[in-house]
Structure 1
Amino acid sequence: MRFLLITDTFPPDINGVARTLATLADGLKQRGHEIEIVTTLEASPELAQEPYKRHTVMAMPLPGYPGLRMGFTTTWQMQALYETFRPDALYIATETPLGIASIRAANKMGIPMVSGFHTNFQTYLEDYALPGLETVAQGLLRSLHNQTARTLTPSADTAAMLTRWGIQNVGVLGRGVDTDLFSPSRRSLELRESWGVDEKTPVALYVGRVAAEKNLVLLTQAFAAFREIYPAAPCVVVGDGPKLKSLQTEHPEFIYTGAKTGEDLAAHYASADAFLFPSITETFGNVVLEAMSSGLVTTAYDYAAPRQLIRSGENGFLAPFDDESAFLDQCRMAARAWNEAPLRQAARQAAQDLGWQRVIEQFESELTSVIGTTSSQHSA
């Protein structure tokens, strides 16, 4: 089969959506399908030999967030691309102008589509100086997704939210983790020494975008709560984003590593001991799965991936959604339990049950199942 994946973000971008889509594309290619990608960024030199053709479109930075881009194209341009590649089905992972033009062109040509809801952008509006538009955004998202045969999202919580909005045919496509890459065996004494600790002192870690929607104020409070129990514990921030400089200025006591990928990222996870993740805007939270696979004591809110993966007190710690006081209490619990081998082993085991192969097989099934449908069967 011939599948076209359409997305604003794709490697070399460093984020969970880009990594997920690259993994899915690679998996489909390995299963014998012909894959092409439409995105907003050229491949980096090390990706020049990627196993699929990449088409790049015009893009502009998301207002207030130069690290993210919105793709722009026309219906006519997408029709021309479809005429050349002749895809059997599309996967449209964006609701920006790139996604809108892609859906319009597919409707005109009768090409079946599956859409993806990967990011809660509607909840970011207030953080990025666009308050009061969440209801408008929901209406736009409903209109777009209901023109596709199926909408996939990574967690049951998000699927229920989309259904409440009136989006039809919502399905859950979970996430996986490379347990060989994200493993306790990647622990680096040299890296820990660079952070100023031996094996008797825990390291608290955050991995993700350093951005307003990640609840950074609570993150700083979580680090402080952890250090109430272990005052000498380093607090390490792995990632980049629009709030990095201000966070560095306000909290020079934290260790900032910048964005990491591959084995370097895996070593940073494995060399820490506790993972504190206060975000309340995730559709899934890939970093939680990576942290648990690395054997970390993870603290997060009870929704999305943490709800699926964490049994509080057994393999991590959960707080009721958006209850900041409870979250900080759980961070203190994590500080006390950081070196409990059964808890850390249970975290690793929970992740080992979630490999990528089953996700790729489901994704393949979702795409092939819509072939033969027409836009008139599912248009808004």
Structure 2
Amino acid sequence: MEPTDLRIALFSGNYNYVRDGANQALNRLVGYLLRRGAKVRVYSPVVENPAFAATGDLVNVPSFSIPTREEYRIPSRFEGKPREDLETFAPNIIHVASPDIVAHRAVTWGREHDVPIVASVHTRFETYLQYYRLQWFEPVIRMILRRFYHRCDAILAPAESTAAILRAQRMAKDISIWTRGVDREQFNPGRRDMDWRRGLGVADDELLVVFLGRVVMEKGLDVFAAAITKLRERGVPHKVLVIGDGPARPWFAEQVPEAVFTGQLTGAELARAVASGDVLLNPSVTEAFGNVTLEAMACALPVVAATASGTTNLVCDGETGVLVPPNGTGAYADALETYARDPELRRRHGAAGLAYAETMDWDRINDAVLQVFLRVASKRKR
């Protein structure tokens, strides 16, 4: 088969109504597939004012908002227009990007119509439960996920560390890597702006610690705040720059009073803010990859991060940053203090991270997904 033979139906719980690394990766993938001549149809909830314009043809799937997290929606129904559109489109590949209700229905449809199914993993949903005191529910979630992935022909994981966890949890046997790239025209050290930093009240000799991402508890805000508190108690000159927004912002602002909150930024403003920092602190353990980590590395920032899935494939401990046990607040503070007192080490680790980021080309990365699609489609055709 050739790329032009492919008709791909992509099901995503969030394609463009909230901006995050996962849906931006999906949009880049669709753009690449379209350039290669494949036909793509995207099925996802549609809102009146999405975070960014969708790439490709988007079909609205009925959905409802999540209680206490109204910015996110759960696809709820596959019958009616979405199903009619799918049957008219007649895909020969189904790609499911989130294990929601409609994705389960799409998998069933694919199996009934002998259409191969590829699932991509973008986050470790089971790890979210600890932030909502629902750890007891984790075995049930794993059972549901295992059933979902076992009905797929292949799985795409964003990092080998995530794939290893999926294998250990017996989620699938056919697992390929779909890593992530970075837009190096947007994210690069040339975006650093010392005047902009000074305008925020940051002295040139102060360590500017960056948080980048959605301001939600599952990003490890409690650990971040505890590490910064220890740094403050040690008398290490520093400031905190929080790039992003979310429902936990009021709580976070109370815990980290020295922080400057930029709100959500995009484009050149986002790149300037990241590049103007000195170190990224990323204590999240819920990431399957960690796009923000790679974006910081592309701006030549060293990264202090949790030893967790995704991150361990990006951060080389002692070379591009420091890896810390997930709840080791003292170790996080130690790493930050070391960087504060040794600017040359910051520069050296940042340069090594930049060298790695320069190898992460989006077209090469997305071609790996295309090859998986061609493989499973050809196998089913035979």
| TM-score, structure 2 normalization | 0.90
Contact 1:280 1:322 in 2 (8 A): no
Q: Per the alignment, do residues 290 and 367 of structure 1 end up closer, same or farther by CA in structure 2, a change over 3 Å counting?
A: same
Q: CA deviation at 1:290?
A: 0.5
Q: Distance in 2 between matches of 1:280 and 1:226?
A: 21
- Which residue pairs with 1:152 in the alignment? 156
- CA change 1:292–1:230 in 2 (3 A) is farther
- Is 1:245 the counterpart of 2:250? The answer is yes
Contact residue 19 and residue 52 of structure 2 kept, 8 A? no
Give the paired residue count. 375
Q: Which amino acid aligns with 1:189?
A: M
User: 1:98 Cα shift?
Assistant: 1.7
Shift of 1:350: 1.3
Question: Which of 268, 275, 281 is the aligned partner of 2:280?
Answer: 275
Deviations 1:209-248 (A, max 9, x none): 2111111111012223444677442201111222112222
Post-superposition offset of 1:29: 1.5
Distance in 2 (alpha carbons) for counterparts of 1:274 and 1:154: 24
Instruction: Please say if residues 66 and 242 of structure 1, whose CA atoms lie closer than 8 Å, have aligned partners that are also in contact.
Output: no
The structural deviation recorded for 1:296 is: 0.7
Equivalent residue in structure 2 for 1:162, among 137, 162, 166: 166
Residue pair 1:226, 1:335 contacting (<8 A) in 2 also: no
The residue type equivalent to 2:68 in the other structure is G
Distance 2:233 2:251 in 1: 24
| Structure 2 counterpart of 1:300, one-letter code | A
Q: Secondary structure at the match of 1:11?
A: coil
Q: What residue in structure 1 maps to residue 42 of structure 2?
A: 37
- Structure 2 residue aligned with 1:15: 20
Aligned residue identity for 1:64: T
Q: Is the 8 A contact 1:112 1:372 kept in 2?
A: no
Task: Sort the Cα spacing of 1:47 and 1:251 in 2 relative to 1 into closer, same or farther, 3 A.
Answer: closer
Describe the SS at the equivalent of 1:303. Answer: coil
**1:188-223 deviations in whole A, cap 9, x for unaligned?**
234212211243333110001211111111101222
Pick the aligned partner of 2:308 from 303, 325, 340.
303
TM-score by length of 1: 0.91
Query: Structure 2 residue aligned with 1:368, among 364, 374, 379?
Result: 374
Q: 1:131 to 1:44 in 2, by over 3 A?
A: same
- Tell me the alpha carbon deviations over residues 36-60 of structure 1, each in whole angstroms, 9 at most, x when there is no partner: 2111124758955x55111111222
What runs of 5+ residues in structure 2 fail to find an aligned partner? 1-5
Q: Note the C-alpha offset of 1:374.
A: 5.3
Query: Which of 253, 263, 272 is 2:268 aligned to?
Result: 263
CA contact (8 A) 2:43 2:82 kept: no
Q: Is the 8 A contact 2:236 2:340 kept in 1?
A: no
Amino acid at match of 2:288: T
- CA shift for structure 1 position 256: 0.9
Specify the SS of the correspondent of 1:326.
helix
Q: Secondary structure at the match of 2:207?
A: coil
The equivalent residue for 2:119 is: 115
CA distance in 1, matches of 2:49, 2:191: 26
Q: Deviations over 1:49-75 (max 9, x none)?
A: x55111111222234322322111225
Identify the match of residue 353 of structure 2 among 347, 358, 362.
347
Task: Output the amino acid matched with 2:131.
Answer: D
User: Are 1:221 and 2:243 counterparts?
Assistant: no
Q: CA RMSD in A?
A: 2.4
How far is the alpha carbon of 1:112 from its aligned partner? 1.2
SS at match of 1:371: helix
Q: Is the Cα contact below 8 Å between 1:9 and 1:39 reproduced in 2?
A: yes
Contact 1:93 1:115 in 2 (8 A): yes
Residues 145 and 309 (structure 1), Cα distance of their counterparts in 2 relative to 1, 3 Å cut: same
Q: 1:96 Cα shift?
A: 0.9
Distance in structure 2 (CA, Å) of the matches to 1:46 and 1:214: 20
Tell me which moved more, 266-275 or 313-322: 313-322
Q: Bigger shift: 261-270 or 248-257?
A: 248-257
Aligned pair 1:127/2:131, yes or no? yes
Q: CA deviation at 1:183?
A: 0.3
On the 8 A contact 1:230/1:335 being kept in 2, the answer is no
Unaligned runs of at least 5 residues, structure 1: none
Superposed, which structure 2 residues align to 1:285-364 within 5 Å? 285-340=290-345, 341-364=347-370
Which residue does the alignment assign to 1:211? 216
- C-alpha distance in 1, partners of 2:82/2:28? 24
Aligned 8 A contact 1:186 1:266 in 2: yes
Secondary structure of the structure 2 residue equivalent to 1:332: helix
Distance 1:236 1:93 in 2: 31
Match of 1:186 in 2: 191
Instruction: Tell whether the 8 Å contact from 2:18 to 2:50 is kept in structure 1 after alignment.
Output: no
Measured after TM superposition, the shift of residue 13 of structure 1 is 1.6
1:349 partner amino acid: A
Flag the 1:12–1:77 CA change in 2: closer, same or farther, 3 A. Answer: closer
Instruction: Give the % identical residues.
Output: 28
Taking the aligned partners of 2:142 and 2:52, their CA distance within structure 1 comes to 36
Larger mean CA deviation between 39-48 and 179-188 belongs to 39-48
Name which of 82, 87, 93 aligns with 1:83: 87
Structure 1 residues 358 and 228: alpha-carbon distance in aligned structure 2, compared to 1, 3 A threshold: farther
Q: Is the 8 A contact 2:41 2:56 kept in 1?
A: yes
Report the more deviating stretch, 126-135 or 178-187: 126-135
